[in-house]
Structure 1
Amino acid sequence: MALPKSMRILAAITLCIFFYMVLQIYKAPTELQPPSSPPATKLQEWDHDPQLDPSGEPPEPLRRVEGDNYEPNNRNSARINATILSLVRNEEIEDLLQSMRDLERTWNHKFNYPWTFFNDVPFTEEFKRKTRAATKAEVRYELVPKEHWDIPGWINMDLFHESVSLLEEQKVQYMSKVSYHQMCRWNSGMFSEHPALANIQYYWRVEPKVHFFCDIDYDVFRWMQDHNKTYGFNINIYDSPESVATLWPETQKFMADHKDYIHPNNALEWLEDSTRRPENHQKANGYSTCHFWSNFEIGDLSFWRSKRYRDYFDHLDRAGGFFYERWGDAPVHSVALGLFEDKSKIHWFRDIGYQHIPFFNCPNNPKCSGCEKGRFTDGEKWLNREDCRPLWFKYVGMD
């Protein structure tokens, strides 16, 4: 017997409601995941195993060698206004040659970007002869101006020596080395003002005794320009909180007076996170101490020359923390980038294999050799706790 029309309608409506609810149940997990967040499983992998290191080249376009377009003497070269630079002493020549050999072998023998060396004393003829022999590219030798290197007149040397004693008791490395403080200050704010870099836009910082492991077959500087990137990093770690105890309070003072300098798409959460290393956050007065390890950095000098950065550096310089504490260029650069730049313009060069003792960036990539895939440190396993990349991926992503 056929059901009444009203019963058929009710049954149809009930079935529609049932299928709609089933559909919502299956859709719910994906809708709860914010579209811009990294996949939960990927984040969990990094949280549990900080040695994981995905491979992958940056997105196109990738400018490569075509014929003689990057030959060293080509007046119409595809090279842009960029240089490889290094602050180095004469006695570091053998360690520097190791770094040069690695970068020339893996990248620069194809692109022939010039090398620019800086020293606070004149380079020896031996240094010049050996470095010229290590590359086909142009080599430049520059003296750091005395006024860029000397301890500023406003630094109280009695207070400096008292600070050295105090922080050495807290095991802050290099605290007693005046030249180390001078180096950190120069790398933080003076290098970009050197006349030799006046017409240069991009730089790749290379230090003595580092290693490069991967064949890079595209012009890294042109990639930065093509994709409007300001800064490229390789390793992202925590700092010694005792060495930067007043950096964040001084930064907060500056921010209070320059609210308009703070970029709306900043990385403040990365700088203030207290979840993974609460002891650092506490000792550094609210700063996570996460920073880009600046012994590797590829950057646009326009940022360091901008008014917002010059004002920030001058504020820090007058505060004296480059000498009374041990503010390094790595946390200073990182804090400035995290606050004043669009975080989408900061790029992780995951494809460039690199080592500066004791940390590695060793991609899982067939173009890499000489390092263990996914390796982060050659030291004790506790050093893996120093990896701050999981926080960067959490708040910014894996660009």
Structure 2
Amino acid sequence: MRFLSKRILKPVLSVIILISIAVTVVLYFLTANENYLQAVKDSAKSQYASLRESYKSITGKTESADELPDHDAEVLDSIMDRLHEPLYEKDTFDPNEVLAENKQLYEEFLFQEISEPKVDNLVRSGDPLAGKAKGTILSLVRNSDLEDIISSIQQLEEEYNKNFGYPYTFLNDEEFTDEFKDGIKSILPKDRVVEFGTIDPDNWNMPDSIDRERYDQEMDKMSKENIQYAEVESYHNMCRFYSKEFYHHPLLSKYKYVWRLEPNVNFYCKINYDVFQFMNKNDKIYGFVLNLYDSPQTIETLWTSTMDFVEEHPNYLNVNGAFAWLKDNSQNPKNYDYTQGYSTCHFWTNFEIVDLDFLRSEPYEKYMQYLEEKGGFYYERWGDAPVRSLALALFADKSSIHWFRDIGYHHTPYTNCPTCPADSDRCNGNCVPGKFTPWSDLDNQNCQATWIRHSMSEEELEMY
């Protein structure tokens, strides 16, 4: 029985339930017991529950909201049409005007005085639930990163984690030195849980399936186009690892949430609530602060490969996906044309708070397997940011993705800087509210206005 497919089992079990109910009803009319009708209902419920448990046992799966939907043909056709067409017709917009409008929209949001999400379930320090979510702060670092990661940790501790005490997990493709481990422990409270792990070489190194000669040729081409990190093999390894491997590491098996922390970043504002509990209580599976355009030369075939996958697995699509965000071709139309259909908008994953259940789900895992077979992590320079963003935009409900507008954050050269109320000391004043980057020629790399316009629900718009 365990080898029968779910599509076969469900109708078979349904028929058995109907037969059981029919037999029970017949018995009722035969016996004319006045109390028997309720017994019929109770028996039917009991038998249905028993059979459903048998179904779960046989298939090893549960029937719940997590079960993949069976979209009807009309819904699928509508979604596929949207994914195959640009959001705007060519020659109906001026990219410079779009950029000006988007910059204005972005600044309007960032200039609003905010402090924290307007929900009634924030968990504060001292609450029994504070620091109790299954979450960890994760850093993929090398021994040489010690000084820079210490700077990031000290700021995060001061602005957030000293009040919640979440553990740290450090991963490295080499063994951590005693100097690194002692350096990290020396700046943290003695009771803070800190774990250090080494990445299995099979999960880090270039897989044997990659044609080394082709890789060298392709990276030589990219290098001549001045594509950053093109010839740095470890960078390709990192992108692949953060896309499809990190959440399988044994040290993360006990966690549901991960907050990614990079060396040499800055935090500018106090966070006075448990961020992991916020995610949990408000049905958020992903949190970000920065939203950018990617270099199209690094992901030339990522979109077409993704669409091939979607054609094979249309039921993985979420009907409330962030499709318009993927298809907006108005601010950087050359990116859209170069990638044959993708805006290149993505969440900048050097800061991300992610529900690992999404990464461990069937759609995400199958998608990663498909991309692995395409080889684009090495023949191109597919990054974990566009890969993760495509999966979220296609397979998740966009309302479950949260922009942490209140978290002041900087990773060169971009910043998320909120405006705090005039009478508040929550932010330290070391960033300029609404200033995305000091370099004006990089303003066109900000995709946040596109997210605001197309993907934020009323609830999200009014969250702050």
Does the pair score TM above 0.5?
yes
Which of residues 95, 120, 138 is equivalent to 1:60? Answer: 120
Superposition deviation, residue 326 in structure 1: 0.5
Letter in 1 for 2:172: N
Which residue matches 1:355? Answer: 410
In 2: Cα distance, 1:101 partner to 1:228 partner: 29
Which residue matches 2:170? Answer: 117
Superposition deviation, residue 305 in structure 1: 0.5
1:1-399 matches, cutoff 5 A: 46-48=102-104, 50-52=106-108, 53=110, 54=112, 55-58=114-117, 59-66=119-126, 69=128, 78-136=131-189, 137-365=192-420, 366=424, 367-369=426-428, 370-378=430-438, 380-397=439-456, 399=460
For each residue in 1:335-386, what CA deviation from the matched residue of structure 2 results, as whole angstroms up to 9, or x when unmatched? 00000000000000000000000000010014111211221113x2111111
In 1: Cα distance, 2:216 partner to 2:204 partner: 19
Superposition deviation, residue 145 in structure 1: 0.9
| SS of residue matched to 2:223 | helix
Which residue matches 2:91? Answer: none
For each residue in 1:128-180, what CA deviation from the matched residue of structure 2 results, as whole angstroms up to 9, or x when unmatched? 11111222221110111111111111100000001001111222110000000
Structure 2, unpaired ranges of 5+: 1-98
TM-score by length of 2: 0.73
| SS of residue matched to 1:291 | strand
| SS of residue matched to 1:113 | coil
**TM superposition outliers: structure 1 runs of 4+ over 6 Å:** none
Letter in 1 for 2:186: A
8 Å Cα contact 1:231/1:298 also seen in 2: yes
In 1: Cα distance, 2:314 partner to 2:455 partner: 21
8 Å Cα contact 1:160/1:323 also seen in 2: yes
Alignment length (residue pairs): 349
8 Å Cα contact 1:149/1:182 also seen in 2: yes
In 1: Cα distance, 2:102 partner to 2:155 partner: 28
In 2: Cα distance, 1:168 partner to 1:120 partner: 25
8 Å Cα contact 1:308/1:340 also seen in 2: yes
Letter in 2 for 1:397: M
In 1: Cα distance, 2:305 partner to 2:455 partner: 25
In 2: Cα distance, 1:97 partner to 1:78 partner: 21
Which residue matches 1:27? Answer: none
In 1: Cα distance, 2:260 partner to 2:182 partner: 21
In 2: Cα distance, 1:152 partner to 1:288 partner: 29
8 Å Cα contact 1:50/1:384 also seen in 2: no
8 Å Cα contact 1:51/1:384 also seen in 2: no
Letter in 1 for 2:124: R
8 Å Cα contact 2:215/2:378 also seen in 1: yes
Of all paired residues, the percent bearing the same amino acid is 42
Letter in 2 for 1:64: R
In 2: Cα distance, 1:358 partner to 1:60 partner: 35
Superposition deviation, residue 266 in structure 1: 0.4
| SS of residue matched to 1:316 | helix
CA RMSD of aligned residues (A): 1.6
In 1: Cα distance, 2:447 partner to 2:407 partner: 18
Letter in 1 for 2:150: L
| SS of residue matched to 1:86 | strand
